[in-house]
């Protein structure tokens, strides 16, 4: 192991890193949420008196909002506490705070909540057992409807050689960040201050301001170390309740979820039903129809992002001359759909790869060669008309097929090998800014994100800054400031952080070098910095000037030389003429991976074991090799959970039945195969030095690769996720 | 009224008064002793994040009542570096990059230190990894943790 340790290794290995769960403040109270007892109903009354009768307890409900938030109505579409209808089980209907955590829980249980039950819709197939007709748009269960087309699909289907029609189902999966949501709120001096475990301090600030109906400037969010995010900590969840309790109590309030609550209240990936139809003529795809029903839980009508986004991943990354795509976001009595590492893309890849593999088999052509022949390459257009940028997926897929051929030749009985492609649009469209401080001792990058574990902030941004300036890594510090002082950034999500903040660092470095050039009386910016005799020097031609000689007295004794940089990228454009309803989204960077799984399948039980795995990625220029490999290993293993064991089960009355780590099974140490990580190079991305994001792509092809390996091993064509022993056994006619 | 109890925490004697009978060792460590390096995950023995050493034995502090361990000697992540085995484990995790968000890390380190103390230098990497199987990590995919364990073994040889 030659790589230098992660910059955050020491605080995490010594126990000094303070996470949201660890926050404490003198005199603080503990908060607890009062859950709705049913998944759907009319709220008759919320009686806080029994809780308030307990000494030291503060309790708040909808009726208290007017006095806690004078002159504000908050977001009328998203009331902090419901006033008339309960929309999902455990929806917070009130909140309490008490001097101890145990007392807070007792107080929450003491609140009397009366709800007149209404029929619960837990399963989207109860709403739409068949593909919905034109009247669906007026259904209260439809949060979004998207539709796009190109050509006359029905006519092409009539004349094709082969038409394959299938239905797939995918499960609800949870992020399972090991640290539950937690925050500590304090209110005073006209400020709403909250320290919180968040992937997006500025996003949380915006959310809190909107939910409470207060100005953004009055909200100060300070991020803590984050014990895993995976999308689940991207927007405000507990912060508004904690702040309102702190306001009511006049004291700091800590609010932390128990792990069961973490499952119950988490906004995550929900089930889907996907109908896939593909027509082939002369070995080529000639037309496709894709119909998606996506459960979005309590998502607000008009605010669904997932459906149109998902359709893009069900269409691509394959050339498709004629198509009809349509999707409905279906509201059910569950917490709202929320992001989970590459939201819904692993499910889309599972469906698309399994389907096209099946189509190729039905058409009598080689499934790998069939998919390879249709993969997008740079210069192609997506079905929705966007030009494809530098994209190494086809190259990665070729490499993966070669690995698969080798493994297949070696595979024993009941073993099988699957190859799957997946792609992603990294979120370089969401902007960010940094502030550089150059001092004689080194460079500090001031920014507004906390490290969530991927390395994107502390390792990625530092590596970019070192490469931009010429300074060694140990002379670069990445510093965090709260939303009150940091330059803006959108959040650590969407595989965007190193790419966007890195581009901002590039721009800030240009400003810095121009400034240094002027100070040295040069006509041009200085080319780089270096370290000589233990201090930072400017290098220009043959001269080396110590930075301390270039700084003013005020800079020397203060922050140093300051330069700012920002990056607000933009995505491509789609051909809106193809869109008939709803919103589809252009991609901002084309990132892809091809994975190979070798499995063994127990012929008696249907149990699948992944015995080895290879991941070939196009991530553009690799900025920090250690972090890049670590992201791929972690993402693959998370994907193995989606593939094999992870499934949140909802009862008919809207209960989450397996809200715990014994019953909702994530991968454990003993279940992990060796993983071979490689990259294809030469496909430049929108990030610094041609980097592309890498946080999400590694999870995308995993379930697909495993499913195709199971098919290769046994012939079983499983059309539902996860590939539990039971599902595989059914496909093998063992049950 | 509960009787007073005494713990030795990272080598320091810590008398504790008025610890309720129902208090979990996890909460005593975090909120009474202020040692937040011991992490709260599931509070139900499923994740291993709260692992500490009780008289050298790796123990889930969320499933242990503080009164059960009256008189015992505790090692938490804050004190693990005082012991050469602990320091080696920390060093191996750092060198192997065996952590990402870091939330499961203290539990893994303590569980591994406990195993090494229990099994001594004879333990094979495979045995150690099998016995670490109760600690959950969502970020790393475990492979870097396995590499940290094998680094340790190589040093032991």
Q: Which residues of B touch A5 (CB under 8 A)?
A: 94-95, 97
Nearest CB to B141; choose among A16, A228, A672? A672
- Nearest chain B Cα distance for residue A524, angstroms: 41
Predicted local distance difference test score (pLDDT) of residue A328: 97
In this structure, is the dihedral angle defined by the CA atoms of residues A211, A212, A217 and A220, taken in order, positive or negative?
negative
Does B38 contact A at CB distance below 8 Å?
A: yes
Number of C-beta neighbours around residue A533 at 10 A: 7
Across the beta sheet with A85-86, the strand order is A85-86, A41-47, A112-117
The parts of chain A modelled with pLDDT lower than 50 are 1-2
With an 8 Å Cβ cutoff, are A178 and B47 in contact? yes
Name the token pair of A587: 């991609």
Q: Which residues of B touch A226 (CB under 8 A)?
A: 101
With an 8 Å Cβ cutoff, are A626 and B142 in contact? no
Residues 109-138 of B with CB under 8 A from A: 109, 129-130, 132-138
Locate CATH 3.90.1170.50 in chain A. 9-119+183-256
- Nearest chain A Cα distance for residue B20, angstroms: 12
With an 8 Å Cβ cutoff, are A666 and B145 in contact? no
Residues 64-93 of B with CB under 8 A from A: 76-78, 81, 90, 93
Dump the DSSP string for A58-81: EEEEGGGHHHHSTT----TTS-SS
Does B40 contact A at CB distance below 8 Å?
A: yes
Predicted local distance difference test score (pLDDT) of residue A610: 98
Does B37 contact A at CB distance below 8 Å?
A: yes
Q: Are A302 and A144 in contact (CB under 8 A)?
A: yes
Q: Where do the domains of chain B lie, and which CATH numbers do they carry?
A: 5-79 (3.10.20.30), 80-156 (1.10.150.120)
Predicted local distance difference test score (pLDDT) of residue A1: 33
With an 8 Å Cβ cutoff, are A15 and B106 in contact? yes
Nearest CB to A14; choose among B78, B103, B142? B78
CATH topology of domain A9-119+183-256: Aldehyde Oxidoreductase; domain 3 (3.90.1170)
Q: Which residues of B touch A12 (CB under 8 A)?
A: 99, 102, 105
Number of C-beta neighbours around residue A250 at 10 A: 12
SS3 A568: coil
Does B26 contact A at CB distance below 8 Å?
A: no
Nearest CB to A670; choose among B31, B109, B133? B133
Name the token pair of A702: 């995993």
- Residue whose C-alpha is closest to residue A589's, from A502, A504, A677, A494: A494
Q: Which one-letter DSSP state was computed for residue A28? A: P
Structural domain A432-567, CATH architecture: 2-Layer Sandwich (3.30)
- Nearest chain B Cα distance for residue A173, angstroms: 13
Predicted local distance difference test score (pLDDT) of residue A290: 98
With an 8 Å Cβ cutoff, are A178 and B136 in contact? yes
With an 8 Å Cβ cutoff, are A453 and B102 in contact? yes
Nearest CA in chain B to A19: B103
Q: What is the Cα–Cα distance from A179 to A225, expressed in whole angstroms? A: 10
A182-188 and A253-256 strand pairing:
antiparallel
With an 8 Å Cβ cutoff, are A176 and B39 in contact? no
Which among A451, A669, A695 is the top mutation candidate for probing chain B, defined by the most B β-carbons within 10 Å of its own β-carbon?
A669
Q: Which residues of A touch B38 (CB under 8 A)?
A: 15
Whole-model pTM: value is 0.97
Q: What is the mean pLDDT of each run of 10 residues along chain B (157 residues)?
A: 90 96 97 98 98 98 98 98 96 97 98 94 90 97 97 71
ipTM: 0.97
Q: Are A591 and A697 in contact (CB under 8 A)?
A: yes
Q: Which residues of A touch B100 (CB under 8 A)?
A: 228, 453-455, 630, 634
Q: What is the Cα–Cα distance from A205 to A179, expressed in whole angstroms? A: 21
In this structure, is the dihedral angle defined by the CA atoms of residues B55, B56, B62 and B64, taken in order, positive or negative?
negative
Could you give the residue ranges of the DSSP H alpha helices within A88-181?
101-110, 124-127, 153-159
Which among B42, B83, B102 is the top mutation candidate for probing chain A, defined by the most A β-carbons within 10 Å of its own β-carbon?
B102
CB pairs under 8 A between A and B: 168
Q: Which residues of A touch B34 (CB under 8 A)?
A: 24
pLDDT tens digits along B8-18: 999 999 999 99
Q: Which residues of B touch A673 (CB under 8 A)?
A: none
pLDDT tens digits along A534-569: 999 999 888 899 999 999 999 999 999 999 999 998
A191-196 and A219-223 strand pairing:
parallel
Predicted local distance difference test score (pLDDT) of residue B156: 57
Locate CATH 3.30.365.10 in chain A. 272-427+575-731, 432-567
Does B144 contact A at CB distance below 8 Å?
A: yes
Domain boundaries A272-427+575-731, corresponding CATH code: 3.30.365.10
């Amino acid at each position: 192991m030659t790589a230098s340790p992660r910059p955050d290794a020491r605080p995490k290995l010594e126990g000094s890193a303070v996470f949201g769960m660890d926050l404490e403040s003198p005199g603080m109270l503990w908060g607890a949420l009062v859950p709705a007892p049913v998944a759907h109903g009319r709220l008759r009354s919320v009686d806080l008196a029994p809780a308030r009768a307990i000494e030291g307890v503060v309790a708040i409900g909808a009726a208290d909002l007017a006095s806690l938030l004078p002159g504000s109505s908050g977001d009328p579409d998203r009331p902090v506490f419901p006033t008339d209808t309960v929309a999902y089980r455990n929806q917070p209907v009130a909140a309490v705070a008490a001097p101890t955590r145990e007392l807070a829980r007792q107080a929450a249980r003491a609140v009397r909540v009366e709800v007149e039950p209404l029929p619960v819709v837990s399963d989207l197939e109860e709403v739409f057992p068949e593909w919905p007709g034109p009247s669906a748009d007026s259904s209260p269960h439809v949060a979004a409807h998207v539709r796009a087309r190109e050509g006359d699909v029905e006519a092409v289907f009539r004349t094709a050689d082969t038409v394959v029609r299938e239905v797939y189902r995918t499960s609800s999966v949870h992020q399972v960040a090991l640290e539950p949501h937690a925050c500590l709120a304090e209110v005073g001096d006209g400020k709403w201050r909250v320290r919180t475990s968040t992937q997006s301090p500025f996003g949380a600030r915006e959310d809190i301001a909107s939910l409470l109906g207060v100005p953004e400037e009055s909200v100060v969010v300070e991020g803590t170390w984050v014990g895993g995010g995976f999308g689940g900590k991207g927007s405000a969840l507990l912060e508004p309740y904690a702040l309102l309790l702190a306001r009511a109590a006049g004291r700091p309030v800590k609010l932390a979820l128990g792990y069961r609550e973490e499952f119950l209240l988490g906004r995550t990936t929900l089930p889907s039903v996907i109908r896939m139809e593909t027509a082939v003529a002369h070995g080529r795809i000639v037309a496709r129809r894709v119909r998606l029903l996506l459960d979005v839980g309590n998502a607000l009508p008009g605010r669904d992002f997932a459906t149109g986004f998902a359709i893009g991943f069900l269409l691509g990354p394959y050339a498709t001359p004629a198509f009809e795509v349509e999707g409905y976001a279906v509201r059910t009595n569950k917490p709202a759909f929320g992001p989970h590492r590459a939201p819904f893309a692993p499910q889309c890849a599972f469906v698309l790869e399994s389907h096209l593999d099946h189509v190729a088999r039905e058409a009598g052509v080689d499934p790998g060669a069939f998919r390879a022949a249709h993969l997008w390459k740079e210069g192609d257009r997506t079905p929705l008309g966007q030009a494809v940028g530098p994209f190494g997926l086809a190259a990665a897929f070729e490499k993966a097929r070669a690995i698969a051929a080798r493994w297949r030749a070696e595979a024993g009985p009941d073993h099988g090998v699957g190859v799957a492609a997946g792609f992603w649009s990294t979120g370089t469209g969401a902007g960010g800014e940094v502030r550089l401080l150059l001092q004689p001792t080194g460079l500090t990058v001031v920014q507004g994100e906390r490290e969530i574990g991927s390395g994107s902030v502390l390792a990625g941004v530092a590596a970019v800054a070192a490469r931009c300036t010429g300074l060694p890594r140990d002379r670069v510090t990445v510093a965090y400031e709260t939303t009150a002082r940091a330059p803006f950034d959108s959040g650590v999500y969407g595989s965007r952080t190193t790419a966007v903040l890195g581009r901002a660092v590039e721009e800030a470095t240009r400003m810095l070098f121009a400034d240094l050039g002027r100070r040295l009386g040069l006509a041009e910016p200085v080319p780089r910095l270096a370290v000589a005799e233990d201090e930072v020097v400017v290098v220009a031609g043959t001269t080396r000037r110590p930075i301390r000689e270039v700084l003013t007295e005020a800079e020397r004794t203060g922050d140093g030389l300051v330069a700012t940089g920002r990056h607000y990228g933009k995505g491509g454009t789609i051909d809106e003429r193809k869109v008939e309803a709803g919103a589809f989204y252009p991609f901002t960077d084309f990132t892809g991976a091809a994975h190979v799984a070798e499995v063994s399948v127990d012929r008696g039980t249907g149990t699948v074991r992944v015995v080895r795995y290879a991941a070939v990625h196009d991530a553009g220029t690799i900025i920090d090799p250690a972090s890049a490999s670590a992201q791929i290993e972690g993402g693959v293993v998370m994907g193995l959970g989606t593939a094999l064991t992870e499934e949140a089960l909802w009862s008919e009355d809207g209960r989450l039945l397996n809200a715990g780590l014994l019953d909702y099974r994530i991968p454990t140490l003993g279940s992990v195969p060796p993983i071979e990580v490689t990259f294809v190079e030469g496909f430049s991305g929108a990030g610094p030095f041609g980097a592309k994001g890498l946080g999400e792509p590694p999870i995308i092809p995993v379930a697909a690769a495993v499913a195709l390996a199971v098919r290769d091993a046994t012939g079983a064509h499983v059309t539902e996720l996860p590939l539990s022993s039971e599902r595989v056994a059914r496909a093998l006619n063992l049950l | 009224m509960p009787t007073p109890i005494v713990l030795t925490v990272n080598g320091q004697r810590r008398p504790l008064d008025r610890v309720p009978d129902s208090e979990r060792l996890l909460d005593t460590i975090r909120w009474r002793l202020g040692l937040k390096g011991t992490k709260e995950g599931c509070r139900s023995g499923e994740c291993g994040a709260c692992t500490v050493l009780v008289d050298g034995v790796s123990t889930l502090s969320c499933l242990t009542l503080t009164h059960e361990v009256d008189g015992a000697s505790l090692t938490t992540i804050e004190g693990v570096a005082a012991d050469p085995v602990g320091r080696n484990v920390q060093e191996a995790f750092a060198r192997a990059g065996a952590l990402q968000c870091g939330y499961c890390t203290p539990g893994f380190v303590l569980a591994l230190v406990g195993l090494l103390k229990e099994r001594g230098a004879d333990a094979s990497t495979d045995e150690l990894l099998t016995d670490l199987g109760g600690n959950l990590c969502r970020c790393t995919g475990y492979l870097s943790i396995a590499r940290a364990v094998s680094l340790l073994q190589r040093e032991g040889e």
